[in-house]
Amino acid sequence: MQDAYNLGWKIGLVVKGVAQRSILKTYQSERRRIAQDLIEFDHRFSRLFSGKPAKDLMDESGVSMAEFKDAFLKGNLFASGLSVDYSASMLVAKGRSSADQGDSIIGKQVIGKQELAANIKLGMRMPSFKVLNQSDARPWHLQELLKSDSRFRIILFAGNVTSAVQKTRIEKFCAKLDALGSFLHRFTPASRPIDSVIEILTLHSAKRWDVEMLRDFPDLLHPFDKHVGWDYNKIYVDDESYHEGNGRAYENYGVDKEKGCVVVLRPDQHVGYIGEIEDVEDLGTYFDGVMVEAKKA
């Protein structure tokens, strides 16, 4: 299923003229190694099931229950896809290694800053922790917000937006993205909503009651639609919920609660890029290597 999904979203974006044809070759390099890992895992797992349990610690011919438990837990991660780690390519902005399987990167290569989000691993699927909707305090798992609708996403970890310094950083970030000629406008057809190709979701770390969505966040982060009004489902907060505790998203993601960062997610929720809020040029370089400029009317 994941093989089909990996190839499907890439073909879909290429056919629609949204993404460059060169992304198709990442299917082979990303999924071939996973297939090899699956064969090796199945071979090992089947031997554990067919083997006899060890009689005691000295029985080297039997299967250790500790070994069986370890393999079973790792198997759950593997089967869920949470242990899948894609190599560097035009879709994954991390340094190349000897394990990479041959994707050539055309043009300038940007490398993400893994240290800004210690537990959001480049090339791996985005972990999920509970966050609250800024407008109504409803708790959501972050993964629930990442619909499989072929859009790339920028997760803006906005940090402590009650800080004047941080608020200025966010305003400058949005001003650059909303400027004519920015990558966000270049890759979005003029007739389509600004979030139709690349969606921006914001997660801040201030107290929810100290912040007001329409007052404290630039319009780009909650775009207006003439039919339905402001979008109240774009901005979230890492805070205590009324009934379901605190997901401690910033802590669990390993992101600085004051300064935040920016994370790019591919349509399959794998992490493509991590950078500072000021790294708009690097964001543009990443998307330049993936997307096709939209035709303007």
**CATH code of the domain in which 192 resides:** 3.40.30.20
| Distance (Å) of CA 22 to CA 25, 76, 197, 275 | 6, 33, 18, 24
Residue 55 has a pLDDT of: 53
Residue 251 inside a domain? The answer is yes
Contacts of 222 (CB under 8 A, 6+ apart): 213, 214, 230, 231, 232, 234, 235
For the chain, where are the alpha helices, taking DSSP H only? Answer: 2-15, 26-50, 65-80, 164-178, 183-186, 213-216, 249-253, 280-288
Specify the higher pLDDT residue, 31 or 183. 183
Q: If DSSP codes are grouped into helix, strand and coil, which group holds residue 30?
A: helix
Last residue of a domain, one of 80, 104, 123: 80
Q: Which domain holds residue 172?
A: 114-288
Q: Are residues 284 and 140 in the same domain?
A: yes
Q: Are residues 74 and 172 in the same domain?
A: no
Q: If DSSP codes are grouped into helix, strand and coil, which group holds residue 59?
A: coil
Residue 69 inside a domain? The answer is yes
User: Binning pLDDT at 50, 70 and 90, where does residue 96 land?
Assistant: confident
Tell me how many domains the chain contains. Answer: 2
Name the pairing type of β-strands 261-265 and 271-275: antiparallel
Last residue of a domain, one of 55, 80, 105: 80
Q: Are residues 39 and 125 in the same domain?
A: no
Residue 284 inside a domain? The answer is yes
Specify the higher pLDDT residue, 108 or 179. 179
How many CA atoms does the CB half-sphere of 84 hold within 13 Å? 24
Residue 13 has a pLDDT of: 97
Residue 101 inside a domain? The answer is no
Q: How far apart are the first and last CA of the chain?
A: 38
User: Binning pLDDT at 50, 70 and 90, where does residue 50 land?
Assistant: low
Q: Are residues 74 and 118 in the same domain?
A: no
Residue 39 inside a domain? The answer is yes
pLDDT above 90 (res 203):
yes
Task: Among 86-90, 104-108, 245-249, name the one with the lowest average pLDDT.
Answer: 104-108
The answer to whether the CB of 261 falls within 8 A of the CB of 275 is yes
Task: Among 32-41, 242-251, 263-272, name the one with the lowest average pLDDT.
Answer: 32-41
Residue showing tokens 């708009």: 280
Q: Are residues 190 and 273 in the same domain?
A: yes
pLDDT above 80 (res 75):
no
Residue 119 inside a domain? The answer is yes
Contacts of 138 (CB under 8 A, 6+ apart): 132
Q: Are residues 252 and 156 in the same domain?
A: yes
Which letter, b or e, does each residue of 255-286 get, where b requires 16 or more Cβ atoms within 10 Å of its Cβ? bebebbbbbbbbbbbbbbbbbebebbebbbbb
What is the rounded distance in angstroms from the CA atom of residue 192 to the CA atom of residue 297? 11
Residue 119 has a pLDDT of: 97
Q: Are residues 62 and 126 in the same domain?
A: no
Last residue of a domain, one of 80, 102, 131: 80
User: Binning pLDDT at 50, 70 and 90, where does residue 51 land?
Assistant: low
Q: Are residues 53 and 119 in the same domain?
A: no
Q: Are residues 15 and 137 in the same domain?
A: no
Output DSSP code: residue 238: -
What is the rounded distance in angstroms from the CA atom of residue 55 to the CA atom of residue 57? 7
User: Binning pLDDT at 50, 70 and 90, where does residue 283 land?
Assistant: very high
Residue 32 has a pLDDT of: 85
Q: Are residues 274 and 142 in the same domain?
A: yes
**Residue 137 β-bridge partners:** none
What is the rounded distance in angstroms from the CA atom of residue 234 to the CA atom of residue 66? 44
> The domain spanning residue 62 has which CATH number?
3.30.9.10
pLDDT above 70 (res 102):
no
User: Binning pLDDT at 50, 70 and 90, where does residue 76 land?
Assistant: low
User: Binning pLDDT at 50, 70 and 90, where does residue 45 land?
Assistant: low
User: Binning pLDDT at 50, 70 and 90, where does residue 291 land?
Assistant: very high
Residues of the chain with pLDDT > 70, as a percent, come to 81
Residue 58 inside a domain? The answer is yes
Residue 85 inside a domain? The answer is no
Residue 159 has a pLDDT of: 98
